[in-house]
Structure 1
Amino acid sequence: MTFIAQTNAQYSKFITMCTVTFLPLNNTDFILTSNRDEQRNRETLPPAEYVEDGVKMMFPKDKIAGGTWIGASSKNRLVCVLNGAYKKHEKKNNYRKSRGVIAKEILKSTQVTDCVKDLNLNQVEPFTMVIVDWNEKLQLYELIWDEVKKSFKTLKNEPKIWSSSTLYSDNSKRLRKSWFQEWVHSNDFNVKNILQFHHSEIGAKEQAVLMKRSYVETVSITSVKKEENSITMLYEDVIHSKKKEVQF
């Protein structure tokens, strides 16, 4: 079909993902929520438990690359991937490794800082990764790769929003940040309330949190809540109006 051919061409130029929010609940618990902005016909498997190299993990799976954009593991860690680094980049025809596969490597690692230090990111597409680790204490990290330099830093455990640089300009990021800050000051931190924010259609459809454009739109929303010793992942397939909840 002509429409699919056009969107595939656009997809190669405007590869996607996503909007992410982090909410600390206390010194040990949190909620992280991710809107995945994708082509609506890109096939995805809902969250399930997997065991790789002896490590139990839970994540939705991208059928094309076999990786994930958001997952948690028995290593007391969560990883969420956004496409792009600081600014929009030109996509190459081929890359050595999927960012979703790198996310699983971090989920499986014993020590997150050592793993990130040793990562070989040559010929990997630019990305931003939000990493939450709760081994010694609740710790929020941000890993950015811009095809030249790897930046890894510790962030404060405070409410935060990220928007993918491949889809949102600096002005759009600032606008969405203002929406989030207003939400933070007006709402209790719980899954129900943050999901309402991630379903928000305020502003133009192209820049809304629940985004829709001609070639890409929000196809799923995943919210992960860590509370004491349990992890709950709530996954909503927006396109097909299906939901799945997984715990471990």
Structure 2
Amino acid sequence: MCTVTYLPLGGGDFIFTSNRDESPSRNTIGPKEYIENDVKLVYPKDELAGGTWIGLSENQRLVCLLNGGYEIHEREFSYRISRGIIVKQILVSDDAVNFINELELDGVEPFTLVMIDWMRSLEAYELVWTGKQKDFRKLDNKPSIWSSSTLYTQEMNNLRKDWFRDWLEQNEEMNQSSILNFHLDASHGDEISLKMKRPYVETVSITSVKKKDKVLEMQYFDVLKNETSLLSYQNKAKDSKPTNVIPIIAKNI
């Protein structure tokens, strides 16, 4: 939930990839299909809070969470609701834009949320909650990168944007394997690399979603276990058929 890239591919297709930087002791359940409010969802689950940082909905929607707003904040002792639960609320909503516009966030820890919706056409949105201010906007459909403000300073964030810009220049034909290798890069040091490793926080998993025509694929790499799974969907998440795979990118890990 701490480093995210979005690659629109044209024709309504895209690749969306998220690194989860978290305590390795915080348990996670790999991606599964769930039915919530009569809506089929697919997401990896945070075992402690029951929410998720990235998920797909049969409402033709992807929602992804990053910790923190525009800058680092002081944590309060407790909060009204987990941010990962809000991700699921948006996934099941009939009209996500209207739901977010009316969403009451007082008592919620600051966060940044990215939503990709392809019900009518491919659209990208960003929601930032600072703890006091809610900013919700439609994004230009262009390659983008986000880094969590709770882990990365503005200087680090800018440096990562430079790396992403370099990657784009070197990868005119964007594909999932290449962007996964970008997210697996640990060559810039433990503190700042895309695949980071600090004393109490590290990249524990990488989730990548690819949409191609009517097919959706969610690839989930458990960094700690060095295990990868792939979920494929035809048209909607309700048609998902999970299978275990060993992708090329796992060979160099």
Report if TM-score (shorter chain) is over 0.5: yes
Q: State the partner residue of 2:104.
A: 120
Could you report, residue by residue, the CA deviation over 1:114-152 in whole angstroms, capped at 9, with x for unpaired residues?
010111111000000000001111000000001111100
Could you report, residue by residue, the CA deviation over 1:67-124 in whole angstroms, capped at 9, with x for unpaired residues?
0000010001000000000000011111010110000010001111101011111100
In the alignment, structure 2 segments of 5+ residues that lack a partner are 234-253
2:127 is the alignment partner of 1:156: no
Q: Distance in 2 between matches of 1:164 and 1:88?
A: 9
Q: Distance in 2 between matches of 1:49 and 1:208?
A: 31
How far did 1:204 drift?
2.1
**Equivalent residue of 1:181, what SS?**
helix
Could you report, residue by residue, the CA deviation over 1:21-77 in whole angstroms, capped at 9, with x for unpaired residues?
000111301000000000111100000011111111100000000000000100010
In the alignment, structure 1 segments of 5+ residues that lack a partner are 1-16
How far did 1:153 drift?
0.4
Match of 2:62 among 78, 85, 97: 78
How far did 1:200 drift?
0.6
What amino acid does structure 1 have at the position aligned with 2:112? T
Q: Distance in 1 between matches of 2:11 and 2:64?
A: 20
What amino acid does structure 2 have at the position aligned with 1:145? W
What do you get for the CA RMSD once the two structures are aligned? Answer: 0.8
TM-score (norm 2): 0.90
Q: Distance in 1 between matches of 2:176 and 2:197?
A: 23
**Equivalent residue of 2:10, what SS?**
coil
Query: Would you say how many aligned residue pairs link Structure 1 and Structure 2?
Result: 232
What amino acid does structure 2 have at the position aligned with 1:230? V
2:192 is the alignment partner of 1:207: yes
Q: State the partner residue of 1:4.
A: none
Runs of 4+ displaced beyond 6 Å: none
Q: Distance in 2 between matches of 1:176 and 1:92?
A: 29
Q: State the partner residue of 1:99.
A: 83
2:216 is the alignment partner of 1:231: yes
2:152 is the alignment partner of 1:168: yes
